Amino acid sequence: MPKLEIKQRPLLTRPEFFQGVPSFVADILARRGVESEQELELKLKHLLAPTMKGLPEAIQLIDQAIDTGQKIVIVGDYDADGATSTTLMVLALRDMGAHVEYLVPDRFKYGYGLTPAIADLAFANFTPDLLITVDNGISSHEGVKQAQDHGMQVIITDHHLTTKPTPAAEAVVNPNQLGCDFLSKALAGVGVAFYVLANLSTHRKKLGKSSTVITNYLDLVALGTYADVASLDYNNRILVDAGLKRIQQHLCRPGISALLEIAGRDAATLKAQDLGFVLGPRINAAGRMETMDIGIECLLASDLATAYPLAEQLNKLNVERRQVEGKIKQEALTELEKIQLDENTLPAALIMFEQHWHQGVIGIVAGRLKEQFHRPSIVFAADEDGIHIKGSARSIEGIHIRDSIERIAEQYPHLVSHFGGHAAAAGLTIKKQHFAEFKQVFEQLIAEMDESLFTATLWTDGELPASAFQIETVDLLQNLSPWGQKFPQPIFEGIFKILDYRWLKDVHLKLRVALESGQVMDAIAFNAIDKYKFDPMKQHVRLVYELDKNVFNGNVSLQMRIAHLEQ
């Protein structure tokens, strides 16, 4: 297994900024870079002003298209961010009186972004006057030109990183495009779509034209943002919090209600994390296993009767996705066992390919391998053309996976056909015949990086004072949520005396431990049998844990949920 270091998060701002909260809470906020008490006030009025490059042009074009009855087609992407962005655009524009359709082509056939083939498909199916991309398109130079050759105007709305000039579309809205000074670069695709639509509806309202109440759609914005693992900066936390509250108050799309009901979750007590772990995977399953239309139709559904069968279908696809993913991961692990798996012989990057692996789940498998072994991982599956293979890459802190692939593409142009993505996740296409060479070159590139990157770091908020071990602390921390990417859930560490232990269902470890103050606590480590070496003969244990409520037979007690255990 990889080496692991437990370290305390550094203070990024000053705990003294926060008066009226316990000092351990002030430390938690300072460790997440919160700069003022105002940042704890998640009100929509504090959202950043719409200063995005390309926004005025986009609004002008859509406004005109609605007024003149032009046909608009939305070209979406295959994941939860793409599905929520597409749904948001379709619903809000129809509300404003637009004539709008959507298209999310088969990812396996047509690849990513607005390709020329997708432009042809949009033209053949809808003959639109205006094509709007959501959550894609920032690198689609050829596709934009093809759409324009078919007589369409093109607006790109996207959030993906780019180091190149933007395509020659009529308007491009992306906070990450060159020359855009919008302060939050962390918006998801659905966040960018929200800004476009919010400003379009304000513009139309001022002119007395048909408009919409854009805040009614914040449930979609919250879901897409969280499921896309966007960094929860202040702006995104406001959007996620506002959308989550709408879901908790049952003011959400019937499709979201149906998915929660099928998953056995109560909307009223939903947490932000559930957007990523309960709703996101079920919607993503459509794009991974079948067609994203099912996910979009579920979110578009105007009543529960329509939404429910679609939600059931998504749930089934998600079960299937988990089975396929589990099988591939097992095969990958078996393959890896052929290498002596200790940190001295583990390759610098894990790069794997099997002819029969399913393209839809290789990204998740790459993520699981990255988590387990703390190495950048790329998992490939065969493309339909029999010549190419498609890879999904996931990376560890400190290794920018998209830039690493770009370096290979520049040094060895024959090795990489297409690629795109972010620091932590990317996609690429290579020729099957080049797999062995790519693997060797990529491993070599990563192996030359600083050795310390390959030691996993578990960042904690330090030790919790004895006075904080109470139920109220769980509520206090919950009130500071949403927690998520770059604004992580507080996690503490400490050494405790073991009073008692037992194994539940032979896999989960339940401990009773004593604090120095003499207080006795329950602690639980799920799936501990595979993760930790627990020695009951030792009297003490070092735990990294979250504070949690345990509700059992109507009784609520405090417990520690163990994230790491060592003796």
Q: For the CA atoms of the chain, what is the radius of gyration?
A: 25
Same domain, 178 and 300: yes
Same domain, 307 and 374: no
Reported as a single tens digit per residue, the pLDDT across 191-216 is 999 999 999 999 999 999 999 999 99
What CATH code is carried by the domain that includes residue 253? 3.90.1640.30
Q: Judge whether 244 lies within some domain.
A: yes
Q: How many CB atoms lie within 10 A of CB 14?
A: 11
Q: Judge whether 487 lies within some domain.
A: yes
Judge contact between 318 and 281, C-beta under 8 A.
yes
- Mean pLDDT, residues 461-466 taken together: 96
Whether pLDDT at 26 is above 60: yes
- Mean pLDDT, residues 531-556 taken together: 92
Of the residues 414, 437, 454, which one is the last residue of a structural domain? 454
Cα end-to-end distance, the chain, whole Å? 16
> What is the CB-side half-sphere exposure of residue 124 using CA atoms within 13 A?
7
**Distance (Å, whole) CA 279 – CA 247:** 12
For the record, the structure tokens of 400 come out as 């920018």
Judge contact between 252 and 219, C-beta under 8 A.
yes
Q: What is the DSSP string of 54-93?
A: THHHHHHHHHHHHHTT-EEEEE--SSHHHHHHHHHHHHHH
Same domain, 271 and 407: no
Percent of the chain beyond pLDDT 70? 99
What CATH code is carried by the domain that includes residue 540? 2.40.50.460
For the record, the structure tokens of 299 come out as 């979110």
Q: Judge whether 357 lies within some domain.
A: yes
**Distance (Å, whole) CA 310 – CA 259:** 9
Reported as a single tens digit per residue, the pLDDT across 51-99 is 999 999 999 999 999 999 999 999 999 899 999 999 999 999 999 999 9
What CATH code is carried by the domain that includes residue 367? 3.10.310.30
Same domain, 84 and 146: yes
Judge contact between 501 and 534, C-beta under 8 A.
yes
User: Average per-residue pLDDT in the chain?
Assistant: 94
Same domain, 431 and 473: no
Same domain, 401 and 540: no
Per-residue three-class SS string for 407-436: HHHHHCCCCCCEEEECCCEEEEEEEHHHHH
pLDDT band at 293 (very low <50, low <70, confident <90, very high): very high
CA angle 282, 227, 423 (to 5 degrees): 130
Q: Judge whether 312 lies within some domain.
A: yes
pLDDT of residue 106: 82
Q: Judge whether 390 lies within some domain.
A: yes
By residue range, what is the domain housing residue 411? 339-454
pLDDT of residue 161: 84
CA distances (Å), 330 to each of 70, 289, 325, 336, 503, in order? Answer: 51, 19, 9, 10, 25
Q: Judge whether 304 lies within some domain.
A: yes
Reported as a single tens digit per residue, the pLDDT across 235-264 is 999 999 999 999 999 999 999 999 999 999
Whether pLDDT at 341 is above 60: no
**Distance (Å, whole) CA 31 – CA 21:** 15
Domain count, the chain: 3
Same domain, 309 and 176: yes
* Bridge partners (DSSP) listed for residue 379: 352, 392
Of the residues 409, 425, 454, which one is the last residue of a structural domain? 454
> What is the CB-side half-sphere exposure of residue 543 using CA atoms within 13 A?
29
pLDDT of residue 107: 75
pLDDT band at 501 (very low <50, low <70, confident <90, very high): very high
> What is the CB-side half-sphere exposure of residue 231 using CA atoms within 13 A?
12
- Mean pLDDT, residues 109-132 taken together: 93
**Distance (Å, whole) CA 33 – CA 25:** 13
Same domain, 525 and 448: no
Whether pLDDT at 320 is above 80: yes
Same domain, 115 and 230: yes
Same domain, 82 and 179: yes
Same domain, 137 and 271: yes
Q: Judge whether 26 lies within some domain.
A: no
Same domain, 362 and 310: no
Q: Judge whether 325 lies within some domain.
A: no
Reported as a single tens digit per residue, the pLDDT across 141-174 is 999 999 999 999 999 999 998 878 999 999 999 9
Judge contact between 32 and 485, C-beta under 8 A.
no
Of the residues 454, 483, 503, which one is the last residue of a structural domain? 454
